[in-house]
Amino acid sequence: MTGTNYGWAGSVSDFLQTPQIEIVEALKAHYYQCTGEHANDSHQTAWVDTLKIMQKNLVDIKLLQSSSADWFIVFEFELPRERGRRPDVILLTDTAMFVLEFKGYAYIETGHVDQVRAYVRDLVAYHSTTGAYNGAVVPILVLARGQNIRLAQGTVQIVSGNFLADVISTLHARCHVKNHSIPVWLTGEYQPLPSLVEAARIIFRHEPFPQIKTAASSGINDALEYAMTVAKQAEAKHERHILFLTGVPGAGKTLVGIRFVYEYTAQQQGGTHDAVMLSGNGPLVKVLQHALKNRVFVQDVHGFLKEYTRPNAKLPHEHIVIYDEAQRAWDAARSAEKRNTTRSEPDDFLIIGSKQTDWAMMIALIGQGQEIHLGEEAGLSQWDDALAFVHEHYGTRWIAHAPPRLGTVFPSAVDVIQNPHLDLDVSLRAHVAADVQNWVALLLNQTIARLVEDGPTAAMLSTLPQLHSYAQAMTTQGYSLYITRELTTAKAYATTRYADAPDKRYGLVASSKAKCLMQFGVPNEFQVNRMLREGPWFNDDADSLHSCRQMTSVATEFQCQGLELDMPIVCWGDDVWYADGAWQTSVSSRSHARDPRKLRLNAYRVLLSRGRDGMIIYVPPIPLLNETYHLLFQAGCRPLDPHDQPTEPIYAATY
């Protein structure tokens, strides 16, 4: 039978009795429905090869196990909301689910292995009826041109066609939990977790937000509900409130802000007392405005303050202001340089709120460890300074709301109400986000590499097993963590893995201060990089010259902070390197930063936490970075090319 989200489906018995040409015609019609294009000869050849292999192997299985006639087979299952992603075959038995991807190769491509592994990962995470198989979901890569191949890479079985029946029969026999409602699987809903940009599009199109169990359990809904309650209280009681929402990178802070603006405005009569979302992250603003085709939904914080802090300026009509990445607010010195004012940005925001008639609310979205600009290092203390300033000069008292760990940070508030829902500690950016964040934090933690009595590398030595353990957990759960010293290898992997997934985002990201990268084809030099158009880079289709998928331009830490890619290629530079048991950083003698080393490490903290499916770390082949490469290898990064593997590890640690 044919369907709207698959090419052909039926029992194994039906499949073996259906003429091949009939199934091919159904697959052609489905392909046209999905893409608007006619299938070419290579597509049809691949389908015929797949059908022949499946027919032969299912006949062999049926001879061994008569009950296999009632198994169910699905061809070209279209993953909803993921344009172009279609597992070739899904075979549903009474005990297991096999996800098969066919490739016309006789050799293994790493990108193909990860592609089928990701299909299983996403079906388990996002498809409502896949859970009935209790984890017995097996990815299989079939090398259609191979012979006598049977091996495993992690959870992925890799076989040639002549061994497929044996592998399926063996694994089926190992599963003991019976599932008697096989066809019901097709009725399940597939709701993938959208990226931040796609989430904004969904909200803006008034579509229901996907009910993802990961997102629901992360606390986003609880934080949003609490913020809405505070807003209603502020208006009803004519009070001034400031709410601090903290979270790890990718935890959904920006998403909470966007949803708050949309939902709060939708509840108002005639648009009175609207809320506005502001961000000092210029590229994020550009990307969201480009995606939404709207310049009101999200605005630039500096333009907003310039408008409403000039002499005799009117007050904004919005009583609620949301400031994304508020820990990066400019201090007084930076504001004096850029806006010709003696006040910090927190001062200006609370002054505006203090001047509002009746009531006001400020929502400060606070990221952790991502201060990367000069003037952003004052952190949260300047928000308390601002609370004291407006009390002294304007006579206004603000009620603060904060997670418990920040309960003592704002003594100048009239009251501090602590609420655990205001701390989002689960990242949604990757399927194994907690492990990714832990790995990045531990890798870059300045304390782990300090000199100790046992020698300069002892502290790092004690940390490597834990780093390696995090990396192994990430790999097992489908997060690809690779290193290479050849940029062409990284590009080839990304192109191969996402060849059939046009909506997937991959591209080059790099530190703005790395001087060595230009010579290796990574155009991060300021005069070149300033021409990058962030909106098209993150949003355009793959064939656009401005798309990140072209891999001809690079986004720095400034341009990708708060945004995400499915597979970033993190280009390591000569501004941070590992040597003598510690991270070394290049610091300009002209730097006016309070802690330039912290800003450099934070830049890499940002770069290393952008990936949803994984990341590739490209380490240029220069002597300065040899120890960095070896460290990343022993911290669990897998070489994309076997020739990349270090032959003389600098640490003799065993796990």
Tell me which of 170-184, 489-503, 591-605 is least confident.
170-184
- CB crowding 121-133: b at 16 or more within 10 Å, else e: bbbbbbbebbebb
DSSP classification of residue 503: T
Bridge partners, residue 160, by sequence? 143
Beta carbons within 10 angstroms of residue 431's beta carbon: 22
DSSP H helices, 519-595, are: 526-529, 534-539, 557-560
3-state SS assignment for residue 409: coil
Mean pLDDT value of segment 375-393: 83
pLDDT band for 247, please (50, 70, 90 cuts).
confident
Give the C-alpha separation, 640 to 592, whole Å. 39
What would the two tokens of residue 611 be? 């990936």
Pick from 245-254, 550-559, 569-578: least confident: 245-254
pTM reported for the whole predicted model: 0.82
**Rounded mean pLDDT of 614-642?**
94
pLDDT (average), residues 610-631: 95
Residue type, 375: G
Identify whether the C-beta of residue 303 lies closer than 8 Å to the C-beta of residue 295: no
- Residues 73-80 have a mean pLDDT of 92
Number of helices and strands (H, E) in the chain?
Answer: 22, 23
What tens digit of pLDDT does each residue of 4-51 get? 789 999 999 999 999 999 999 999 999 988 888 899 999 999 999 999
Any idea which of 180-184, 262-266, 651-655 has the lowest mean pLDDT? 651-655
Q: Which of 324, 327, 326, 321 is nearest to 355 (CA)?
A: 321
Tokens read off for 183 = 């066809």
How many whole angstroms from its chain centre is CA 332?
A: 34
Nearest-angstrom CA–CA distance, 204 and 297? 9
- pLDDT score, position 451: 34
- Helix/strand/coil for 642: helix
Percent of the chain with pLDDT over 90: 59
Over residues 253-297, the pLDDT tens digits come to 988 998 899 888 888 765 555 899 999 888 989 999 998 888 777
Q: Quick check: helix, strand or coil at residue 609?
A: coil
- Top-confidence residue, 191 or 600: 600
- Which of 283, 278, 248, 254 lies closest to 558 in space, CA to CA? 283
Instruction: Measure CA 600 to chain center.
Output: 22
Return d(Cα 474, Cα 555) in angstroms, integer: 25
Mean pLDDT on 630-654? 71
Matching residue, tokens 């098969």: 100
Residue for token pair 């704002």:
410
Which of 23, 6, 5, 3 is CA-nearest to residue 14? 23
DSSP secondary structure of 62-105 = HHH-GGGGG-EEEES---TTSTT---SEEEE-SS-EEEEEEES-
Q: What distance lies between CA 45 and its chain's CA centroid? A: 35
* The two three-digit tokens of residue 239, written as one number: 């009070």
Distance CA 407, CA 405 (A): 6
DSSP 498: T
Is residue 339 a contact partner of residue 324, using CB atoms and an 8 Å limit? no
